Structure 1
Amino acid sequence: MTKILIVEDEEKLARFVELELQYEGYEVEKAYDGRAGIDMVKASPFDLVLLDIMLPGLNGIEVLRRIRQTSDIPVILLTARDAVVDKVTGLDSGADDYITKPFAIEELLARIRALLRKKEPGSQAQAKDVMVYKELSLDTKKREVHVKGTVVPLTKKEFDLLELLMENRNIVLSRETILDKIWGYDFSGGTNAVDVYIRYLRAKLEEPFGTKIFSTVRGVGYAIKDEDQ
Structure 2
Amino acid sequence: MDIHILVVEDDESINDMVKKFLMVEGYNVDVCFDGDEALEQFYSKNYHLVILDIMLPGTNGQELLKELRKIHNTPVLMMTALDDDDNQIRAFSNEADDYVTKPFTMQILMKRVEALLRRSGALKKEICVGKLTLYPLSYKATYNDKDIGLTPKEFDILFLLIQNKGDIIPHETLLTKIWGYDFDGNEGVIHANMKRLRDKLPANMIKTVKGVGYCLEENEK
> Which stretches of structure 1, 4 residues or longer, exceed 4 Å deviation after superposition?
none
TM-score, with structure 1 as normaliser:
0.52
Offset at 1:27?
0.3
- State whether structure 2 residue 72 is matched by structure 1 residue 71: yes
Corresponding position of 1:148: none
Corresponding position of 2:95: 94
Corresponding position of 2:52: 51
Superposed counterparts of 1:141-160, under 5 Å: none
Corresponding position of 1:41: 42
- Structure 2 residues without counterparts, runs of 5 or longer: 125-221
Distance (whole Å) between structure 1 residues aligned to residue 35 and residue 29 of structure 2: 17
Distance (whole Å) between structure 2 residues aligned to residue 61 and residue 10 of structure 1: 17
Letter in 1 for 2:84: A
**Offset from partner CA, 1:14-57 (integer Å, 9 cap, x none):** 00000000000000000000011111110000100000011112
Distance (whole Å) between structure 2 residues aligned to residue 82 and residue 27 of structure 1: 28
Superposed counterparts of 1:130-209, under 5 Å: none
Letter in 1 for 2:67: R
Distance 1:66 1:81, change over 3 A: closer
Superposed counterparts of 1:97-108, under 5 Å: 97-108=98-109
- Structure 1 residues without counterparts, runs of 5 or longer: 124-229
**Offset from partner CA, 1:68-106 (integer Å, 9 cap, x none):** 000100000012253321111001101000101001100
**Offset from partner CA, 1:128-182 (integer Å, 9 cap, x none):** xxxxxxxxxxxxxxxxxxxxxxxxxxxxxxxxxxxxxxxxxxxxxxxxxxxxxxx
Letter in 2 for 1:2: I
Letter in 1 for 2:37: A
**Offset from partner CA, 1:162-206 (integer Å, 9 cap, x none):** xxxxxxxxxxxxxxxxxxxxxxxxxxxxxxxxxxxxxxxxxxxxx
Corresponding position of 1:25: 26
Q: Please say if residues 81 and 100 of structure 1, whose CA atoms lie closer than 8 Å, have aligned partners that are also in contact.
A: yes
Letter in 2 for 1:24: E
Question: What is the aligned-residue RMSD (CA, Å)?
Answer: 1.8
Q: Please say if residues 78 and 99 of structure 1, whose CA atoms lie closer than 8 Å, have aligned partners that are also in contact.
A: yes
Distance (whole Å) between structure 2 residues aligned to residue 20 and residue 113 of structure 1: 13
Corresponding position of 2:115: 114
Q: Please say if residues 64 and 95 of structure 1, whose CA atoms lie closer than 8 Å, have aligned partners that are also in contact.
A: yes
Letter in 1 for 2:107: E
Letter in 1 for 2:76: V
Q: Please say if residues 79 and 87 of structure 1, whose CA atoms lie closer than 8 Å, have aligned partners that are also in contact.
A: no
How many residues are treated as equivalent by the alignment? 124
